[in-house]
């Protein structure tokens, strides 16, 4: 366990170096959040009765989404890892006395959390001072804040396990760009990245909320504002844990199978 | 021009070396823009209209911008990798060759997998044209084509500016995504829905609204101002400052060494 922890620390500290990039990223995400809120406010203006949640809850959802983007972005993959598969460096990794799935899992978690840690503070702070109903609200209650933290934790784990599965597929295809692009957009879409799940039409919404994709950002962002509360929140967090276990076990199996007959590329 | 086609065929042949990968990537890109389309569909399923625009009208806007953007991506992709060209000193090599630098950067890469996005735009546009119930008189068809051309040229200019900044910063700037990816994403809707101030910004400074909002008003018959028909020309005018900036950048260029 200790060795994985040190891998986490190395990666985390390493990515904290990119402060200028973080500043630029923050500006981008701020703009994105701002435009989304303006877009939804146009829909709100047109037809307020059809709006499935309080407008200020939606603003909160969007600001949290932008602040925690690094944790839940489906299109982010560890390029070191993918390149090591296609250029053969994986041979070195295999020679180490560590389990490769866990090591990569830890590395990717560290990448995501360090990026989020660098970026979320600034965005949240500014969003907090934007006037109502466009700014970030305080959490609904201390309990919903606690649930938010728990579900962010599990949501991140589900996200990383999902992207590990996609990376695992790379073992079989060598050039995986297409699979990656398609998988990440589908993941983002069904996770409520483009349109938040409460806006979805009935039927489709219920199905989507059972999928592993919804166990990522969808849960924490809605729990925070109390849009998802009580039994529904408990059920969603249960689903997160369930999907984390399923995806983690199958990802590990995928890796084990692939590594049995791995072909090391190049010399 | 002949040389450009030569480059074109080289890139095409090299992309065809990895056929499976090529088609998978192409399909991936198709799915990507399909989810943006689905996002619009979901919102309209609930709200039916936004600021008086119906779904088909929004889709005209969405598909023209997407088409302009994806075509610009095909042909101007070299600029996206410009950061690499600067930082590994490849630009030195480009400068000593007898052809125009702009041309060489342009021809240095072509990304045919972007065809996935273009196809998406074609399908959506075809649907919107058919379903919108607009009577397609010649002037409206002209406006529509002009919108696409305007968007294409505008994005070419934007990609160029994006690359120019590398002359000064060596690194690419993520902030510039706001103007390329950002306007593509939010340009799916007429810029007017974001409020007066942003509309002004996107009319006079970065003329996105000139290639979507104003001509769209003319097409759907909300305005009969003939002037709106020719506004996409602003996209072409935008090339002038982009080119000037490029020239300044080239003059300013200092090699990074090896």
DSSP label at residue A247? H
pLDDT value for A167: 83
Q: Spell out the residues 6+ positions from residue A76 whose beta carbon is closer than 8 angstroms to its own.
A: A70, A111, A112, A163
* Distance in angstroms (rounded) separating the CA atoms of residues A43 and A92: 54
Q: Where are the alpha helices (DSSP H) in A47-141?
A: 55-67, 69-72, 79-87, 90-95, 100-128
ipTM of the complex: 0.87
Asked if A39 lies within 8 A of B186 by C-beta distance, the reply is yes
Task: Report, in this order, helix, strand and coil percent for chain B, each rounded to 5.
Answer: 80, 0, 20
Gap between the Cα atoms of A237 and A222, Å rounded? 12
Geometric angle at alpha carbon B101, from B100 and B105, rounded to 5°: 125
Are residues A44 and A51 in contact, defined by beta-carbon separation less than 8 angstroms? yes
Q: How is residue B78 written in tokens?
A: 């070299």
Residue B15: pLDDT above 80? no
Among chain B residues, CA nearest to A37: B194
* Helix (H/G/I), strand (E/B), else coil: B153: helix
**How many structural domains does chain A have?**
1
In a domain, B46, yes or no: yes
Q: Between residues A16 and B203, which one has the greater pLDDT?
A: B203
Cβ proximity of B132 and B63 under 8 Å: no
Q: Which residues contact A221 (CB under 8 A, 6 or more apart)?
A: A61, A64, A65, A68, A192, A196
Residue from B48, B50, B170, B179 whose CB has the most chain A CBs within 10 Å, to mutate: B50
pLDDT at B171 over 70: no
Does A9 fall in a domain? Answer: no
Cβ distance B32 to A42 less than 8 Å, yes or no, reads no
A189 contacts in B (CB within 8 Å)? 35, 38-39
Question: Which are the contacts of B224, defined by CB distance < 8 A and separation ≥ 6?
Answer: B218
Query: CA B177, B180, B184: angle at the middle one, nearest 5?
Result: 120
Contacts A43 to B, Cβ<8 Å: 43, 47, 50
Instruction: Tell me what pLDDT residue A43 has.
Output: 94
Q: Tally A–B CB contacts below 8 A.
A: 100
Does residue A5 belong to any structural domain of this protein? Answer: no
Mutate one of B23, B28, B172, B200 to test the A interface: name it (highest A CB count within 10 A). Answer: B28
Tell whether B175 lies on the interface with A, counting CB pairs under 8 A. Answer: yes
pLDDT reported for residue A8: 83
Do the domain assignments include residue A10?
no
Residue B257 gets the label, from left (phi > 0), alpha (psi -120 to 50) or beta, of: left
Chain B residues in contact with A50 (beta carbon < 8 A):
46-47
At how many degrees (to 10) do helices A100-128 and A142-173 cross?
140
Q: Would you give the distance in Å from CA B239 to the centre of its chain?
A: 13
Bridge partners (DSSP) listed for residue B50 = B53
Q: What is the mean pLDDT of each run of 10 residues along chain A (267 residues)?
A: 82 77 84 93 91 92 92 79 73 78 88 87 90 88 93 95 86 72 87 91 92 92 88 93 95 87 61
- Answer yes or no: is B146 within a domain: yes
Contact A43 B50 (CB under 8 A): yes
Domain-embedded: residue B7 = no
B77 C-beta neighbours (distance < 10 Å), count: 19
By CB atoms closer than 10 A (0-12, 13-18, 19+), residue B1 is exposed
Q: Is residue A184 part of a domain?
A: yes
Quote the tokens at residue A6: 């040190």
User: pLDDT category, B253, cuts 50, 70, 90?
Assistant: confident
Asked whether residue A2 is assigned to any structural domain, the reply reads no
The alpha-carbon gap from A74 to the nearest alpha carbon of chain B, in Å, equals: 12
Full 3-state SS string of A195-242: CCHHHCCCCHHHHHHHCHHHHCCHHHHHHHCCCCCHHHHHHHHHHHHH
Nearest alpha carbon to residue A116 among A225, A16, A244:
A16
Give the closest of A27, A50, A178 to B27, CB-based: A178
Range of the domain at A69: 15-260
Phi, psi of B53, deg, nearest 5: -95, 130
Residues of chain B with C-beta less than 8 angstroms from the C-beta of A38: 193-195, 198
**Chain B residues with beta carbon closer than 8 angstroms to that of A181:** 25, 28-29, 31-32
A-facing residues of B in 27-56 (CB < 8 A) are: 27-29, 31-32, 35-36, 38-39, 42-43, 45-52
Q: Is some CB atom of chain A closer than 8 A to the CB atom of B178?
A: yes
Would you say residue A4 lies in a domain? no
State the total domains in chain B: 1
CB B208 within 8 A of CB B127: no
Residues of A in contact with B198 (CB under 8 A): 38
The residues with which B53 forms a beta bridge, in sequence order, are: B50
- Domain of B248? 21-252
Interface of A with B (CB under 8 A): 21, 24-25, 27-28, 31-32, 35, 38-39, 42-43, 45-47, 50, 52, 175, 177-182, 185-186, 188-189, 194-195, 199-201
How high is the pLDDT of residue B23?
82
pLDDT confidence of B172, banded at 50, 70, 90? low
> Residues, chain A, total?
267
Residues A122 and A26: beta-carbon distance below 8 Å: yes
CB contact under 8 A, B32 and A181: yes
Q: How far is B113 from chain A (nearest CA, A)?
A: 10
A27 neighbourhood in chain B, CB within 8 Å: 175, 178
Residue of higher predicted confidence among B257 and A58? A58
């Amino acid at each position: 366990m200790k060795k994985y922890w040190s891998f986490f620390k190395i990666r985390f500290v390493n990515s904290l170096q990119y402060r200028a990039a973080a500043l630029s990223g923050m500006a981008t995400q701020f703009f994105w959040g701002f435009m989304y809120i303006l877009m939804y406010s146009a829909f709100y203006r047109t037809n307020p009765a059809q709006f499935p949640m309080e407008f200020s809850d939606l603003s909160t959802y969007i600001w949290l989404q932008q602040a925690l983007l690094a944790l839940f972005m489906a299109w982010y993959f560890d390029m070191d890892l993918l390149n090591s598969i296609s250029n053969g460096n994986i041979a070195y990794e295999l020679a180490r006395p560590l389990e490769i799935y866990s090591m990569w899992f830890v590395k990717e978690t560290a990448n995501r959390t360090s990026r989020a840690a660098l970026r979320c503070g600034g965005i949240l702070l500014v969003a907090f001072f934007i006037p109502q109903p466009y700014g970030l609200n305080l959490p609904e209650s201390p309990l919903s804040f606690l649930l938010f933290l728990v579900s962010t934790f599990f949501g991140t784990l589900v996200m990383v396990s999902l992207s590990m599965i996609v990376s695992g597929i790379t073992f079989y295809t060598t050039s995986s760009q297409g699979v990656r692009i398609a998988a990440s957009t589908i993941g983002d879409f069904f996770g409520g990245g483009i349109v938040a799940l409460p806006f979805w039409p009935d039927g489709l919404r219920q199905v989507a909320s059972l999928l592993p994709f919804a166990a990522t950002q969808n849960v924490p962002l809605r729990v925070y504002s109390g849009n998802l509360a009580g039994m529904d929140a408990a059920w969603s967090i249960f689903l997160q844990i369930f999907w984390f276990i399923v995806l983690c076990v199958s990802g590990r199996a995928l890796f084990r199978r692939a590594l049995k007959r791995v072909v090391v590329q190049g010399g | 021009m002949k040389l450009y086609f030569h480059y074109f065929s080289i890139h095409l042949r090299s992309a065809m070396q990895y056929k499976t990968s090529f088609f998978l990537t192409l399909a991936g890109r198709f799915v990507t823009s399909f989810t943006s389309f689905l996002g619009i569909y979901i919102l309209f399923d609930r709200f039916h209209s936004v600021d008086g625009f119906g779904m088909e009208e929004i889709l005209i806007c969405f598909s023209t911008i997407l088409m302009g953007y994806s075509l610009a991506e095909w042909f101007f992709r070299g600029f996206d990798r410009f950061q690499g060209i600067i930082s590994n000193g490849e630009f030195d090599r480009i400068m000593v060759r007898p052809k125009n630098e702009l041309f060489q950067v342009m021809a240095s890469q072509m990304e045919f997998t972007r065809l996935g996005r273009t196809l998406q735009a074609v399908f959506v546009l075809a649907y919107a044209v058919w379903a919108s119930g607009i009577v397609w008189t010649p002037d409206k068809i002209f406006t529509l084509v002009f919108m696409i051309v305007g968007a294409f040229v505008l994005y070419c200019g934007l990609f160029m500016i994006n690359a120019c900044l590398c002359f000064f910063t060596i690194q690419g700037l993520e902030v510039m995504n706001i103007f390329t990816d950002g306007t593509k994403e939010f340009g799916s809707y007429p810029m007017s829905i974001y409020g007066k101030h942003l509309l002004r910004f996107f009319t006079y400074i970065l003329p996105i609204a000139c290639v979507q909002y104003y001509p769209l008003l003319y097409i759907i018959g909300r305005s009969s101002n003939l002037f709106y028909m020719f506004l996409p020309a602003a996209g072409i005018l935008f090339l002038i400052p982009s080119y000037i900036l490029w020239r300044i950048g080239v003059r300013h260029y200092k090699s990074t060494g090896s």
